[in-house]
Amino acid sequence: MAGNSLGQIFKITTFGESHGKALGAVIDGCPSGIRLAEADFIPEMERRRPGRSSFETPRTEEDRVEIVSGVFEGLTTGTPLTLLVGNHDVRSKPYGVLKNLFRPGHADYTYFKKFGHLDYRGGGRASARETAARVAAGVVARKVLAPFHMNILGHTLELGGIRAERMDPGVIPKNPLYCADPDAAVRMLEVLEKAKRAGDSLGGVVEVLVTGCPAGLGEPVFDKLDAELAGAIMSIGAVKGVEVGAGFEAARLRGSENNDPIRSTGFSSNRSGGILGGISNGDDLVLRAAVKPIPSIMKPQKTIDRQGRDATLELTGRFDVTAVARIVPVVEAMVALVLADHYLRARSGGQDFEV
């Protein structure tokens, strides 16, 4: 299995299973001279951490990031930056059932088919816990982008069919769902409560807005900025769709409606989502990700065992009702990682950015 690396110049490699000793990331290609301390990781790790609401399991990981290499006297040295996050709260789960049955909607079945084994302790690399390494690396990516004063802001646009109608950035950190519309947040919490009681789970839509992104990031053809952002966001376990700008709505517009007029003062509209021909145009980036409902539910489900025999899976214990809120900082991290890499790639080509 390869495929645990992302980026060409700002290249991260993540490692670690949910129930192993630790997980983490190596960042190869981080420029030297960036101030970095372990405390810098705390806020983002807190945002991603489970247990912030009654709809998330209370795994009590501190998720402290340890810098193992790459920093000397408080500054990055340009050598590989290794970030380690220990797994401390590795509880015994009801392994009895999972040792032999594939959980529907999970990667159990496909990992078994591909690798011939089943990490029944909780998903291994397919666990949501893997995203802790992404969020940690994303903190460093934001530091690389710091000269631009970008703001990479994610929020829960939709959850269980409830859609936010307002976008008030100040509201986002004030509710556990990271929703920018306080009224919608209340209703989202209601449908979550209902789903929880039903032993079921909910999905939603996460949106990320990037202000301050300079024009000229991205490469034509295969490494378009939107192509790499889409790939990076789709690589988050629960994501089943990605949109840029008007997205699927653009499919229903006419050219005269969809084209953003260009004015000496900037673009008059932003249906492009800030990207034209795969290259950022200086306007805000707008991205959306469809997040599926968490597959672990309390209802009995039809499945098969390792021998291929029909069986019924009945999970016990506590499970998250939705992954949407926790995915918000992960999508932000993926966006930061792709942008940092493209910034360094652009610089290799000699592009000068006014920062």
Question: According to CB under 8 A, which residues from 37 to 66 bind a second copy?
Answer: 66
Distance between alpha carbon 101 and the CA centroid of its chain, in Å? 28
CB atoms within 10 A of CB 245: 23
352/218 Cα distance (integer angstroms): 14
Contact set for a second copy, span 303-342 (CB under 8 A) = 303-304, 308-310
Q: How many residues lie near a second copy (CB under 8 A)?
A: 148
Question: What is the per-residue DSSP string for 65-97?
Answer: EEEEESEETTEE-SSPEEEEEE--------HHH
Q: Least distance in Å: CB of 10 to a second copy?
A: 9
Considering only the stretches 51-59, 169-177, 180-188, 244-252, report the one whose residues sit in contact with a second copy under the rule CB under 8 A.
Answer: 244-252
Q: Least distance in Å: CB of 158 to a second copy?
A: 6
Q: Phi, psi at residue 207, to the nearest 5°?
A: -115, 145
Which CB atom, from 149 or from 265, has the smaller least distance to a second copy?
265
Q: Is the CB of residue 334 less than 8 Å from the CB of residue 232?
A: yes
Selected binder of a second copy within 53, 187, 215, 270 (CB under 8 A): 215
Selected binder of a second copy within 92, 149, 170, 255 (CB under 8 A): 255
Selected binder of a second copy within 136, 188, 202, 339 (CB under 8 A): 202
**By CB under 8 A, residue 125 contacts a second copy:** yes
Nearest to 61 by CA among 115, 3, 22, 112: 22
Selected binder of a second copy within 211, 247, 270, 318 (CB under 8 A): 247
Cβ contacts of 232 within 8 Å, gap of 6 or more: 6, 334, 335, 337, 338
Selected binder of a second copy within 49, 142, 326, 345 (CB under 8 A): 345
Considering only the stretches 37-45, 112-120, 135-143, 168-176, report the one whose residues sit in contact with a second copy under the rule CB under 8 A.
Answer: 112-120
**By CB under 8 A, residue 212 contacts a second copy:** no
322/201 Cα distance (integer angstroms): 6
Q: Least distance in Å: CB of 280 to a second copy?
A: 7
Which CB atom, from 43 or from 202, has the smaller least distance to a second copy?
202
**By CB under 8 A, residue 141 contacts a second copy:** no
Q: Least distance in Å: CB of 298 to a second copy?
A: 9
Dihedral of CA atoms 184, 185, 187, 189 in degrees, nearest 10, equals 160
Nearest to 44 by CA among 178, 242, 166: 178
CB atoms within 10 A of CB 223: 15
Contact set for a second copy, span 219-238 (CB under 8 A) = 219-224, 226-228, 230-232, 234-235, 237
Selected binder of a second copy within 69, 94, 99, 190 (CB under 8 A): 69
The tokens for 216 are 């000229």
Selected binder of a second copy within 109, 182, 212, 318 (CB under 8 A): 109
Nearest to 250 by CA among 276, 223, 284: 276
**By CB under 8 A, residue 74 contacts a second copy:** no
Selected binder of a second copy within 37, 88, 115, 151 (CB under 8 A): 115
313: three-class secondary structure by DSSP:
strand
Which CB atom, from 97 or from 215, has the smaller least distance to a second copy?
215
3/340 Cα distance (integer angstroms): 19
Contact set for a second copy, span 81-100 (CB under 8 A) = 81-82, 84
